[in-house]
Chain A
Amino acid sequence: MGFTNPAAFIFSFFIVGLVLLYLWERQQRRLDVPSMLLWQAIPEAVVRRRRFQPDNLFWLQLAGMAALLLGLANPYLDIDFETGHDGRLILVIDLSASMQTVEGGTTRLDLAREQAIRVIRSMPLREIMVIGAGREPMIITPFDRGHESVIEVIGNLQAKDVSTRLEPALAIAQRASFQSDVRTAIHVFTDVPRHSVGARWRDGVSWWPAGTNSDNLAIADVQTTQGVLQNHREMGARIAVQNYGTKEKHGSLAVRVDGELVAQELFTAPPQSTQSFHFPQLSASGLLEASLQAEDALALDNHWRTWLPRFRPIRIALVGATPELANTMSRLDDAAEAIIIDASPSGETTGGADIVVYHHTTPESLPDDVATLLIAPLADLATRKPATELREAAVVDWNDDHEVLRGIDPRLLHRFASLKVLQTPPWGEMVLSAQAADREVPALVVGKPGSRRAAILAADLGSEPFLSSDREPLLLLVLNLIDWLAEQRSDVTVARTGDSKAIADPDAPVVEVIDPKGMPLYIDQAQLSLGLDYAGTYQVVRQDGTRTNIFANFQDSEESNVGRTPAEPYAATSNYAQGADSLKVNRGFGVWIYIAAAMLLIAEWIVAIRSVEHG
């Protein structure tokens, strides 16, 4: 038996008060007697002992008060049910990319499957939950007594081409065990070493290691390269191949563009080494596929897809540009592969531009359908107040990590002849700052106010000879900025497995996607995003029938590094939830005590009235 609300006993002082009230009243009452003669012989102690002589009314009152207190405490009885429950079992199975590693004719996932099934068969009459661990945890089956159905589900599990993240899955398993009142055992089937997860998770968990094979060759990285001051047409590719194994490997690397073989290299890779292959001046555009042919344990990381963008000049519209700036910008054709499509004082015809450049002009609002560059605007974008000017402002600080500054040593920018003093807008990030006297002001601010990128360059390029050989860092900055703003778009997306991509189509309630295995997926407005679980090509089918592609590549050096130290399975010596084999059910009966209290209230009242009436 117990109480659901034991804190109610704090109100016991009401009972104490009742007793104290009775004793006080007794003390106040006087007894008139004709003579003290008969009482003189009675010992004081006897008299004192008989002072507490409660009447029936007191007992009724006490009973009523006690009933109220007890009802508030809400006592309950435990009733044991023999459930015949042997506890619960939670199986956490690693479904990450490395589980596809081949181990002596089978895969690590197959080994894990076999181990899991053996565990199931060794423990009859248990409810079983299966949780898959990959990039995100997934409850494969909730607690189920049907062992054969669970075994069938386990048999159909497929590994995904994603990284391992065990801790969230263990968190779900732990939570499920906490919510269970019976003994719950957790078993983990993975190739991740037990010591690599936190102590919080590995205590109380049985661990079944799967696999040791280290023989893996992988495409570690593919970069498309463009030389210094080279244009887009001279793009090449650099492919890094890494041998994670402990033995020398031979293989070949093939590079195809739009299906056509453009290069092939035979190589020998020493153990634990990385080699780099350079393919300059591919002079092609389209889908670039790199593939390794080699005997290794994990084939997933032997392929890579990327996109060589089709050359298209960046189209720039100039608004309000001074003749000097217009002339200079027009000479960017070769360097930036940019063409000036329009130069008008007020920007009436900026349609078709990738970037609209406002010089000495502050638009009412930034256009949402085109990238924007403001150069030395005369008025601050946020406050609309005229911007003051600083002369000979030296570059003082910068954001080393921003891609706009890639390849540039900002120290060599030295100073700007003329700089407008502007505030950083809410959407902006200051990339470059300058100083004049003791004042620091933003020189370059970039951001994404809406769906397109925008930048504010406070330096007046019209006053800077940025095509001069003396100002090459400034020229590179302008080129980088144009490139970053243009954000050359295509119908192709290159992503990594494990990412999520938003692909909802506002015009369609459901979007169809064909995954790399050829299976159709249907993404609705509520779901919004597509998780890239597999490497390969995802085809997104729009309502108008057009298709766009997402190339998902698997790249994770930790997953590709498949070698493991042999380890024995670990049997947990304790479980998270130490429940009994029986189930306890609480039956509270506070309400009945309240009913008794109500009746006692009435009874006490009646007795009190009668005692008054009878004198």
Chain B
Amino acid sequence: MDDVSLSYLLAHPGSLGLSVDQPFLLLAAAAAALFFIRSPPDAARRAVPLRAAAFAAVVASIAGINVTTRLPADQLTLVAAVDVSGSIENAALDWSQEYLRAVRSSLAPGDELAVVTFAESPAIAATASPDDDLPAITRPPGIAATDISAAIDQALGLYPRGSQKALLLLSDGNETSGDSRSRIETMRALGVRVHAVPPPRANTADIRLARLSAPAVVPAERPLPLRVVIRNSGGPRAAVLNLYLDGLLTDSAALALDAPLQTFDALLRVPQPGGHIIRAEIVSDGDARVENNSREASVVVRSETTVLLATRHRYSPVAEVIRRRGVNVTAVHPSRLPTDIEDYSALHLVVLEDLRARDLTDAAAVALERFVRVNGGGLIFAGGGASFGDREFHGSPIEKLLPVTLEPRRPRPGKRDPLALFLVIDRSNSMGFNSRIGTLRDGEKLRYALKAGVEVVKQLKDHDRVGVIAFDARPHEISPLLPLKTNRRKLLDALPRIVESGGTDFFDALVSAGEQLSQSRVNRKHIVLLTDGDTNRAGRGEYRALVEKLAAAEISVTTIRIGDNTVNLKLLQEISEGTGGSFHHVENAQMLPDLMLRDTSRAIRPLTPETQRFLPAFGTDHQVLAGTDESGIPPLADYAFSKLKPSSESLLQVDRSDRRDPILSVWRYGLGRVAAFTASPSEDAETWPAWTGFARLWSQLAFWTARAESDDDLAVEATRRSDRTNLVLRTFHRDDVGGAVTGELDAGDPHIAVPFSPREPGVYEATMPALSPGRYPLRVRERIGQHVREVETIVAVPSQPEDERREYAHGNDNQDLLRELTRRTDGSLGASAAEVTRRPKGSRTVSYPLAGILIPLAMAAFLADIALRRITSLRANPAA
């Protein structure tokens, strides 16, 4: 039988037993009877049991009496992987040491414990050998990284065949390199169970700058949008957020951190092209760890967005507004559009304005199509009927890349343009009387007014829009302005149910009706005001302003006075005259239906070309339209009819009676984006430059459509590690599938040669000796296919090493990873030392000899026996 420690026995009392090596020797204990037979005659007789006990203990020790316990059937080899990286606190290392001691003491005899410490790389601290003492867990150099997978690989080499295998992972799970999840299948296949126990964290009141988000590449003319995410695991506190650009403080803001997660946005201007380092830092008193209080982001400011605008006009308002945004716009005649795709390499966007097919050569059209489809370039095609209706575009590459079809002419309208009509109906008390017999309360006036409204609703078409407001002293909206297709039934039900009540004030009703009509994007907008009396509201000035507003919105108002009340007819006349409507005084309410029908018919008569206006309305919600007020979009004098192609989206459209004609549409074509504006900016949209939203709309459209990087752009990002600096160079040449790239870095004299190796298409990597933080000029020589060029740029080396950044990025344990490692290997998470080593008992037995306990007891009993006899003898006979 194997030997076992006393502490192990005491820790496992459940399966204790007794065994004797030489049982027959126990018979010698019978000699203890001698002590009882030949016992002292006096009080010393009490010593007999003591002597007998001592003798029995000695006999038992001679026979080899043992305490036994059963052990698990198989030997366990436990490899402890102890994380000693920077994210583990010093107190946690001490804790890990104690935990290992507890594990070791709870191992069954024969079980083995090996220890691997790891940070960036693993080291075997103790082998699974009984002769190897438990090592002191210390933190070596090179701790700013955590590679759990490497530790697992090292541990897997320490397991002997045939034993039970377990991996004890004392780590917070925040791996910064490697992929431990990829080892799960191997561990499962080998039968290794993972027990993860994250060391406790001493102080949880930590503020951490969790993320500094910035685009990797930004054009020189755009501000750099930054977002800072701060996590606070303590209570509310004050802090200061500092922003640095290339090491210089650019902004500082006091913050109140009163939530576990807060985000802060900022815009930074960085006009100088090349690489830059943005650093965000959060400072607060009482923070547990300061290593995770700052983050850096590498940003490459590329050259300004370059746009080529081809137009037949001498002046282009579109070019002007885009240029004012800092974009480099070159305007050329369409005949001078490049025909070689290489000539588009520096461009981000091409705008074609009011072009006809004959303005473009075939070669230019082919190059443009490839520029968009293959090279991801952006294209805006703007023009009216002369452009989109030019038959010679049919079959050309231009037709293929547009998001709309080219139609020669606009179809005849199948239906008239819709009418937006508001019925504003007086429901005051007086409307409950007869229109001719003023004292007869038979509801005639209101009844016929409502009947007139019903007839109008019946007369109009589904695409017309009708709203109804009934007013007394206040307006009551019966229905907002809605298409009759959805609203007709409701109106026909609701109108007859209006009853008379209250006073008379139609001002607010007119205001409400006017607002709704203003927002509707239809050409014809009309209000019919039916009342039998004067408004209670004084203040003609108010009405004057209202009339002017309605007129400006091109809303006509027909006013109808019902009955014999002639008070203040002038007001109604002024309202109708000021808005281009009609005034009627109807003494017999029964004439109202006919009157209303005639008035409505006038409102829906066809518009002449001189009066025809096309009002673009929003289509699909899109970032191009962000911040644009739909109601402010000016009308178009004309536009080219076209149809949306599948997968394209209409952002602005004109609502016709039976269709919606796209005005501004977008889609993705190949790798690029294309926008089509089916109106001539200089003719159909001639009044648009005066519109306050014109610059916003066109600049947003240009930035959205333009490609992010041109073929000539390149970005170099540096990451610093303790002993080296990695450079990653990205080209944006779409033909780059791996060429030869070399560089020369100016870090003093002599310059440093940088040999880049291809990592993936368009991405090259180089490793060089460690560089100090700062910005360095880099000359890059590329040979990609037939494309050879030299470019100078600036590479910015961050101050925070990448390993360190990743190491301190987390404030909490990676419970997700630890849980997955343990769950999928049938291990445990957060178990105690005893639980980690606990296994079902098997048939193996170990023993602990009791002689070490019995003999001291025998010695004590013997001494007590002697003492008792001597004392008894002394008392009996004190004389010598």
Contacts and interface: CB of A to CB of B under 8 A. Distances in A.
A and B from one complex = yes
Interface of A: 5, 8, 11, 14, 17-18, 21-22, 25, 28-32, 61, 64-65, 68-69, 71-72, 135-137, 165, 167-169, 171-172, 174-175, 178-179, 198, 200, 223, 225, 228-229, 238, 240, 272-278, 280, 394, 396-397, 409, 411, 424, 426-430, 435, 438-440, 447-448, 465, 467-470, 472, 499-502, 528-530, 591, 594-595, 597-598, 601-602, 605-606, 608-609, 612-613
Contacts of B238: none
Query: What 7 A-B pairs come out closest when comparing CB atoms?
Result: A276-B738, A168-B157, A529-B189, A438-B259, A278-B737, A276-B758, A274-B757
Contact of B879 (A30, A71, A396): A30
Contact of A274 (B59, B229, B758, B870): B758
Contacts of A238: 737-738, 760-761
A543 to B, nearest CB: 20
A168 B260 contact: no
Nearest to A277: B738
A73 to B, nearest CB: 10
B859 A11 contact: yes
Interface string B225-237: 0010100000000
A138 B719 CA distance: 40
B58 A438 contact: no
B124 A171 contact: yes
Contacts of B817: 429
B38 A606 contact: yes
A517 B282 CA distance: 60
Contact of B755 (A200, A273, A396): A273
Contacts of A280: 737
Contacts of A61: 862, 866
Contact of A609 (B40, B227, B820): B40
Interface residues on B, range: 35 or more
A8 B44 CA distance: 30
Given A409-B215, A426-B819, A499-B186, A469 B668 contact: yes
Nearest to B858: A68
A286 B850 CA distance: 71
A397 B229 contact: yes
B852 A72 contact: yes
A280 B186 CA distance: 34
B852 A175 contact: no
B623 interface: yes
A21 B157 contact: no
Nearest to B651: A470
Given A72-B852, A435-B263, A14 B859 contact: yes
Contacts of A529: 186, 189-190
Given A68-B858, A175-B128, A598-B62, A502 B189 contact: yes
Contacts of A272: 755
Contact of A612 (B44, B620, B666, B871): B44
A529 B188 CA distance: 9
A528 B54 CA distance: 57
Contacts of A435: 261, 263
B707 to A, nearest CB: 12
Interface in B147-194: 153-154, 156-158, 185-186, 188-191
B262 interface: yes
Contacts of B189: 500-502, 528-530
A229 to B, nearest CB: 7
B772 interface: no
B40 A18 contact: no
A439 B59 CA distance: 75
A5 B852 contact: yes
Given A61-B866, A529-B190, A225 B761 contact: yes
A502 B188 contact: yes
Contact of B51 (A240, A447, A499, A601): A601
Interface stretch (B27-35, B103-111, B679-687): B27-35
26 contacts: A29-B878, A30-B879, A31-B879, A31-B880, A65-B862, A65-B863, A68-B862, A71-B855, A72-B851, A135-B157, A172-B127, A174-B129, A229-B668, A276-B758, A278-B738, A278-B761, A411-B213, A435-B261, A438-B261, A438-B262, A439-B261, A469-B668, A470-B622, A470-B623, A470-B624, A605-B35
Contacts of B623: 470
B129 A179 contact: yes
Contact of B154 (A11, A168, A594, A598): A168
Contact of B668 (A198, A397, A438, A472): A472
A397 B51 contact: no
B40 A17 contact: no
A274 B763 CA distance: 13
Nearest to B34: A602
B867 interface: yes
A264 B860 CA distance: 93
Interface of B: 28, 31, 34-35, 38-42, 44, 51, 54-55, 58-59, 61-62, 114, 123-124, 127-129, 131-132, 153-154, 156-158, 185-186, 188-191, 210-211, 213, 215-216, 227, 229, 258-263, 620-624, 647, 649, 666-668, 671, 673, 737-740, 755, 757-758, 760-761, 816-817, 819-820, 823-824, 851-852, 855-856, 858-860, 862-863, 866-867, 869-871, 873-874, 878-880
Nearest to B867: A21
Given A136-B157, A396-B263, A609 B188 contact: no
Given A14-B859, A65-B863, A274-B758, 16 more contacts: A61-B866, A71-B61, A136-B156, A165-B157, A175-B127, A178-B131, A198-B124, A229-B671, A277-B738, A427-B823, A429-B816, A429-B820, A470-B623, A502-B188, A594-B855, A609-B38
Contact of B263 (A172, A273, A277, A394): A394
B812 to A, nearest CB: 12
A601 B62 contact: no
A602 B31 contact: yes
B880 to A, nearest CB: 4
B823 A608 contact: no
Contacts of B761: 225, 238, 278
A21 B61 CA distance: 27
A432 B760 CA distance: 26
A447 B647 CA distance: 33
Contacts of A30: 878-880
Contact of B40 (A11, A22, A274, A612): A612
A468 B62 contact: no
Given A14-B863, A137-B157, A435-B263, A502 B185 contact: yes
B620 A500 contact: no
A200 B40 CA distance: 68
Contacts of B737: 238, 276, 278, 280
A397 B231 CA distance: 11
A500 B862 contact: no
B185 to A, nearest CB: 6
B62 A595 contact: yes
Contact of A468 (B28, B622, B869): B622
B620 A465 contact: yes
A175 B620 contact: no
A29 B59 contact: no
B858 A168 contact: no
A29 B186 contact: no
Contacts of B158: 168, 171
A601 B758 contact: no
B237 to A, nearest CB: 14
A427 B184 CA distance: 14
A549 B300 CA distance: 46
A65 B124 CA distance: 49
A397 B812 CA distance: 15
A601 B862 contact: yes
Nearest to B403: A469
A521 B530 CA distance: 98
Contacts of A396: 211, 229, 261, 263
A11 B738 CA distance: 82
A448 B181 CA distance: 12
B374 to A, nearest CB: 10
